[in-house]
Amino acid sequence: MNKRILVGLFVGLLVGLLAAACQPNIAFVEVTRLVTVDGDVVAVGTAVPIEVTRVVNQEVTRVVPEEVVIEVTKSPIGSEERPVQLLFPPTVNTAVITTRGEPLAQILTETTGQQFAVGIPDDTPTLIDLLCAAPQDTIGVLSALDYARASQQCGAQPGLVAMQPDGLTWQAGMIVTRRDSGLNAVEDLAGRSWGVVDTTSVPEFLAIQVQLADAGVEPGDVVQYETTSSLMLALYNREVDFVTAAYIPPILPYDERPWQYGEDPPEIWRRLGLSPTRSPIGYVIVFGEVEFGGYRLRDDRASIFDTVPGIYDETQILALSPQIPNDTVVFGAAFPLGLAREVTAVLPQFAASEACVNSVCSTDFYGWAGLEPVTDEAYAPLLPLLEAGD
């Protein structure tokens, strides 16, 4: 090959390289759901095209590393590009969560004019991390203890607490002993065997564990049972010294007022001096139906009343746990205040409507009967649990 041809090929290659270096390149930057923009973390999900033009005035045989600074403009909260994330923990099948959560997201979108999207993190700790990482964009549904963790971790705020079909926005556990056992005070439980169904339950075990420790009481062996019925039978048959289970207060005569925690005795009905009976429609009652001046009993001892009618006569409630709030709608610490107010106004109306039956009020999801405003004070009983590392 002669010199003229070689020179021509070299010149052609050099021109081609310079021309390619001067052409704009289109780079697609994948923006994940959590992106730091202008110092803030935002929840989005889109590909952003960025046009980058570079002119390389150097020898073509050198590779020059170069940083390209890309400026991404944040989309506003509630836009289609950046919808508010409505997060549910995977407590049931994800298909159920998606199906049941979507009507809630739609009603919030319709009433606020902002876009909402249902999200299902891998687990509850991940949900808390998302609330903390993108506090402007996220609303989550958490148990009371998990809300307390989120509040401690990054200042998340409670908005609404769920009401269950029993009409309560809180739960409580009860310590039950036999009336003939001589165990008549919490201090008497030192070294005594303890029966329980769920050792992960806050009201039925964890909160009472702290309560006993605060009283300087160290119980004996903890015996776990499969069901509430087997638990109560164990107490009745003296297999354990005391048990803890769910306390639901009685409905008072004529339903004139609700039973008051801390003011009414747990077994207020005992003042009548009468034994409970089973009503024709299945309730455990004292002195007749509520509408006729009687009491309706609802605590966990009712589970074996038909098998052991004397369960109430033979046992007593020694003490109750603190009140533990139900599931809570939680806002990220930097969530827009105006939008939070709109959400907390819309959700109770939705929970009281027929539409909620196909959403969070469904029996295969949360089974809520309503939603009520709640303040941080309601979660104070959970702080000792966090301090204890539970």
Residue 332's φ and ψ, nearest 5 degrees, are: -60, 155
Nearest C-alpha neighbor of 301 from the set 289, 310, 291: 310
Supply angle C-alpha 203, 206, 211, rounded to 5: 90
- If asked whether residues 238 and 321 sit together in one domain, one would say yes
- If asked whether residues 188 and 240 sit together in one domain, one would say yes
pLDDT of residue 38: 57
Kindly report, residue by residue over 348-362, the tens digit of the pLDDT.
999 999 999 999 999
pLDDT of residue 61: 47
Averaged pLDDT, 188-199 = 98
Kindly report, residue by residue over 74-117, the tens digit of the pLDDT.
789 999 999 999 999 999 999 999 999 999 999 999 999 999 99
Residue 42: inside a domain: yes
Lowest mean pLDDT among 6-15, 59-68, 207-216, 278-287: 6-15
pLDDT of residue 42: 57
Secondary structure (H, E, C), 259-303: CCCCCCCCCHHHHHCCCCEECCCCCEEECCCHHHCCEEECCHHHH
Residue 153: inside a domain: yes
Residue 17: inside a domain: no
On the question of pLDDT at 8 being above 80, the answer is no
Question: What is the CATH number for 134?
Answer: 3.40.190.10
- If asked whether residues 88 and 159 sit together in one domain, one would say yes
pLDDT of residue 388: 78
pLDDT of residue 387: 87
pLDDT of residue 374: 98
Kindly report, residue by residue over 16-43, the tens digit of the pLDDT.
433 444 444 444 333 334 555 556 655 5
Residue 277: inside a domain: yes
Q: Which of 54, 70, 103 is the last residue of a domain?
A: 54
Nearest C-alpha neighbor of 141 from the set 330, 326, 324: 330
Residue 6: inside a domain: no
Residue 343: inside a domain: yes
Whole-angstrom distance, CA of residue 183 vs CA of residue 316: 10
Whole-angstrom distance, CA of residue 288 vs CA of residue 187: 36
On the question of pLDDT at 371 being above 60, the answer is yes
**H helices within 22-59, ranges in order?**
none
- If asked whether residues 202 and 317 sit together in one domain, one would say yes
Residue 178: inside a domain: yes
On the question of pLDDT at 319 being above 60, the answer is yes
Mean pLDDT, the chain, whole residue set: 87
Handedness of CA 107, 91, 367, 343 (dihedral sign): negative
Residue 306: inside a domain: no
Domain housing 260: 249-298
On the question of pLDDT at 126 being above 50, the answer is yes
